[in-house]
Structure 1
């Protein structure tokens, strides 16, 4: 039991949902300078600028006798070619170099299942918080065991609490724990033996358990989303600060830069402050939070800052007179803006990026793997011109890759939303596929499914995509297939809308699918979980197999090895 609690002062810096955006991105601003509307582009964000600003803030905190903590509120995986190419290795290297003190796990860390998280934990130099991730029944036969790792702060099933960290600040303990979306199985690919449990009950139990030890200063690093954080602050007393992620909310007033205001920074609900810092490494949030001896917050000050370079790119053809004058005024306006920091790139972190990772990414962007002889159209739901020309080929690529790896696949189904763009005729590179066409690094799996459930899955996906008799979740669920053909009659009763369902057999003929025959299929792990109308796929025999091949891996292999009339090898 802690006795004689005392006040503490903390400066906390935070980022979230960085999604492998290590390099700066162009950002167009909307400014009004002396009545003239300008739309300059600036170089925004990136890890090297974050590193520079964090070092500045840490130095200021030390000078003012304040504790400094730097946290990441989840979702560092996915997003760019740095993840498509290096999976989690670049993320661990860059976060280590950035000097992160701790991080909460996000849903995209689990897009490829548990194994990449285990590899990530082997590499990072900071703890990963996952306070409602129950690992107590994890199979001990796994090669990537997570339970019992010292740097993973997971759920304590016997106590029904999160395992928390204790940070000693001027001899006074501060408790920090993490929570993530409890519906993780619905949006990610967490292993079935390691579920996420209810976040709110975990929060209530954890706060009570912390307080029983005498600690009265509590911080939550959350990947519940902004609404989830607000709801938790309403329901759970005793948490002074929630540092959030998942919903990409850039708190603060940036309206005079052309960015819509979503929330004030440090939204207060009851006695809890909530902060979130946008996404894609565009901004750094930081706050000074002072605690009274009794654990209440005496002072809270903070803001999000857009981190930009010193140069502005302005279309001067839109200006009539005094071009340089307006340009200089715009530059000065940004330099003096309360929520903008013009800062240089940190040389050490930039060197790591330049020496280790950027050359390989640039090579991908230059390496032509095929030439497309005509434009290839992608549309989610077929129209009068037909359906997607790309999604069926992506499904076909699953079959070829899985068969190449020893699986005997009869058919494949792929949801339209997994393909993100059309393709123009001409050369295409690996970067075009992995960075634009199929940017989500989601694994492909195989499964055994009776014919009647294939029909149900197809109908459920189309019903969902078209809101036909169900409340759908979007057109992205529309199914495209390989080795299957069928007709959908939307005016038939639910359950009887798929007719004339056939499969192309290995002896090169079409054959009607039999309801009770088991067929071998391939889809993304996302679809295999039965999301967005694909519930019937979960009726698979056994549990299926999730491979380590992504959608892009399969399609790149297909392009290189299975040329057809639209895609030609170079």
Structure 2
């Protein structure tokens, strides 16, 4: 038991949901210059600028005799070509170079199951906090074993608490632990033998255990989302700071720059301050927290800062600057804005990116594989203009790739949310597909299933997308198909809404699906797990087969094969 608690002062910097956005992005602002509105583009964010600013903050903190922490609240995987090409390796290198002290696990770290997390843990130099991840029943014969890894602070089932870290601030112990979404199996691909348990109960039990050990100063890293963090703070007392992620909430009023006003920075609920720093390495959050001896937060001040380059440009490609007079006035506005930091890129981190990763990414960005003669529209739910023109082609690419790999696939289904953008007239590169259209690295698989369960999966996905008789998770579940066509009658009873379900074969053309016959289908590993209304697919025969091909792999190979589609043409020589 630790007695005689003392005050403690620390400075904490934080990021979340960086999603492999290592390079700066183009950001359009709206500025008011002498009554005239201008909308210049700036180079915003990136890991090299974060590194520069963190070093400045750490120097200031240590100079003022304040303890310094730099944390990540989860979701570093997915998002850009850096993940599509290098998976978690680039993230481990870049986060190690950034010098974070710890990280909560996010749901996208588990999009491809546990194995990539195990590989990530082998490389990182900081602990990963996953306090409600129960590894106690992990199958011991796995190649990617996670249980008892020293840098993974998971759930303690015997105590029903998270493992926590203890950091000494002014010789006073501060406990830090992390939790993530407990419905992880609904939105990611965590292995079935390692479930996530109830986050709120884990937090309650952990705070109680920490207090019982004599520590009364507590920081939580949360990948639950802003609204859930607020609800958590209402029902659990004793936490001083909740550092959050998942919902990409950029706290602070940036409306004067033409940007969001999501919530104030440091929302205060029941003794806890709640912070989150947007997404995609665009902003850095930081705060100074002074704890009283009894664990209460006596003083809190902080903000999110947008990290920018010096040039104000006329185009999103940042190739031409705006009028000199407006540039000077605009620059002065940004220089005096306390939520904007104009800073240079850290040389060491930028060199790592330039030497090790950028060349391969640039090569992919310049590899044109097709020309598109007209815009191809993507919408999640069909409207008066029709449905997505792209999602059915993506489903067709699954069918193509799985048959090319030797499987006799009859049909393919893809959920609308797996496609992230429309395609526009002009050149199409591999980078456009892997980095923008299909950025989530989710593997494709095949399964054998009776016709009645195909109908069940289609109806379940549409019910979920439209909230028809169920509480859905969003329109991203809407199904697009290849070699399947169907009608959906929203007025019919649950379980009977799919009508005129037909399947195509070269030998027979379109025929009614036999509900008792078995067919071979292809879908992403995500929908094969019955996510978001696709629970009918769980009735597959056996466990199915998960391939090594991602969504982007399939579509790139499909386009390169010379897809017979009116909009796609061979690249110009």
State whether TM-score is above 0.5: yes
Per-residue deviation, 1:491: 4.3
Q: Secondary structure at the match of 1:179?
A: strand
Per-residue deviation, 1:506: 7.4
The 10-residue stretch of structure 1 (527-536 or 83-92) with the greater mean CA deviation from structure 2 = 527-536
| Inter-partner Cα distance in structure 1 for 2:476 and 2:202 | 33
Structure-2 residue corresponding to 1:34 = 34
CA contact (8 A) 1:314 1:327 kept: no
CA contact (8 A) 2:42 2:309 kept: yes
Structure-2 residue corresponding to 1:125 = 125
| Inter-partner Cα distance in structure 2 for 1:233 and 1:58 | 28
Per-residue deviation, 1:552: 0.6
Per-residue deviation, 1:402: 2.5
Per-residue deviation, 1:455: 1.1
Structure-1 residue corresponding to 2:319 = none
The 10-residue stretch of structure 1 (243-252 or 483-492) with the greater mean CA deviation from structure 2 = 483-492
Structure-1 residue corresponding to 2:434 = 434
The 10-residue stretch of structure 1 (238-247 or 256-265) with the greater mean CA deviation from structure 2 = 256-265
Q: Secondary structure at the match of 1:534?
A: helix
> Which ranges in structure 2 are unaligned for 5 or more consecutive residues?
316-321
The 10-residue stretch of structure 1 (55-64 or 164-173) with the greater mean CA deviation from structure 2 = 164-173
| Aligned ranges 1:476-495 → 2 under 5 Å | 476-495=476-495
| Inter-partner Cα distance in structure 1 for 2:145 and 2:469 | 43
| Inter-partner Cα distance in structure 1 for 2:79 and 2:381 | 25
Number of residues paired by the alignment?
564
| Inter-partner Cα distance in structure 2 for 1:201 and 1:60 | 38
Q: Secondary structure at the match of 2:432?
A: helix
| Inter-partner Cα distance in structure 2 for 1:497 and 1:356 | 53
Structure-2 residue corresponding to 1:311 = 311
CA contact (8 A) 2:88 2:116 kept: yes
| Aligned ranges 1:349-360 → 2 under 5 Å | 349-360=349-360
CA contact (8 A) 1:131 1:153 kept: yes
Structure-1 residue corresponding to 2:14 = 14
Structure-1 residue corresponding to 2:556 = 556
CA contact (8 A) 2:250 2:260 kept: no
Structure-2 residue corresponding to 1:226 = 226
Per-residue deviation, 1:558: 1.7
Q: Secondary structure at the match of 1:219?
A: strand
Per-residue deviation, 1:385: 5.7
CA contact (8 A) 2:186 2:532 kept: no
Structure-1 residue corresponding to 2:245 = 245
| Aligned ranges 1:345-384 → 2 under 5 Å | 345-372=345-372, 375-382=375-382
TM-score by length of 2: 0.93
CA contact (8 A) 1:563 1:569 kept: no
The 10-residue stretch of structure 1 (264-273 or 165-174) with the greater mean CA deviation from structure 2 = 165-174
CA contact (8 A) 1:133 1:197 kept: yes
| Inter-partner Cα distance in structure 1 for 2:297 and 2:6 | 12
Per-residue deviation, 1:473: 4.4
| CA 1:157–1:466: 2 relative to 1, 3 Å | closer
Per-residue deviation, 1:166: 1.2
| Inter-partner Cα distance in structure 2 for 1:376 and 1:31 | 33
Q: Secondary structure at the match of 1:544?
A: strand
Structure-2 residue corresponding to 1:276 = 276
CA displacement 1:210-268 (0-9 Å, x = unmatched) = 11211111111111111111111111111111111111111123232222322221111
| Inter-partner Cα distance in structure 2 for 1:296 and 1:495 | 54
Q: Secondary structure at the match of 2:277?
A: coil
| Aligned ranges 1:48-127 → 2 under 5 Å | 48-127=48-127
Structure-1 residue corresponding to 2:206 = 206
| CA 1:304–1:361: 2 relative to 1, 3 Å | same
| Inter-partner Cα distance in structure 2 for 1:207 and 1:134 | 18
Structure-1 residue corresponding to 2:291 = 291
Structure-2 residue corresponding to 1:261 = 261
| Inter-partner Cα distance in structure 2 for 1:163 and 1:489 | 50
Q: Secondary structure at the match of 1:311?
A: coil
| Inter-partner Cα distance in structure 2 for 1:537 and 1:233 | 38
| CA 1:565–1:217: 2 relative to 1, 3 Å | closer
| Inter-partner Cα distance in structure 1 for 2:55 and 2:563 | 52
> Which ranges in structure 1 are unaligned for 5 or more consecutive residues?
316-321
| Inter-partner Cα distance in structure 1 for 2:434 and 2:20 | 14
| Inter-partner Cα distance in structure 1 for 2:476 and 2:72 | 30
Structure-1 residue corresponding to 2:542 = 542
CA contact (8 A) 1:38 1:314 kept: no
Q: Secondary structure at the match of 1:312?
A: coil
Structure-2 residue corresponding to 1:318 = none
| Inter-partner Cα distance in structure 1 for 2:336 and 2:422 | 42
| CA 1:536–1:331: 2 relative to 1, 3 Å | same
The 10-residue stretch of structure 1 (455-464 or 430-439) with the greater mean CA deviation from structure 2 = 455-464
Per-residue deviation, 1:326: 4.2
CA contact (8 A) 2:16 2:246 kept: yes
Q: Secondary structure at the match of 1:313?
A: coil
Per-residue deviation, 1:192: 1.2
Per-residue deviation, 1:181: 0.8
| Inter-partner Cα distance in structure 2 for 1:417 and 1:237 | 37
Per-residue deviation, 1:486: 3.0
Structure-2 residue corresponding to 1:344 = 344
CA displacement 1:465-524 (0-9 Å, x = unmatched) = 445555554443332222223333444443223233333347555443322333222111
The question of 1:402 aligning with 2:402 is answered: yes
| CA 1:287–1:373: 2 relative to 1, 3 Å | closer
Structure-1 residue corresponding to 2:141 = 141
CA contact (8 A) 2:81 2:435 kept: yes
| Inter-partner Cα distance in structure 2 for 1:386 and 1:492 | 22
CA contact (8 A) 1:285 1:304 kept: yes
Per-residue deviation, 1:196: 0.7
| CA 1:525–1:343: 2 relative to 1, 3 Å | same
State the superposition RMSD in angstroms. Answer: 2.2
| Inter-partner Cα distance in structure 2 for 1:268 and 1:384 | 45
The 10-residue stretch of structure 1 (437-446 or 347-356) with the greater mean CA deviation from structure 2 = 437-446
Q: Secondary structure at the match of 2:532?
A: coil
Per-residue deviation, 1:453: 0.7
CA contact (8 A) 1:112 1:548 kept: no
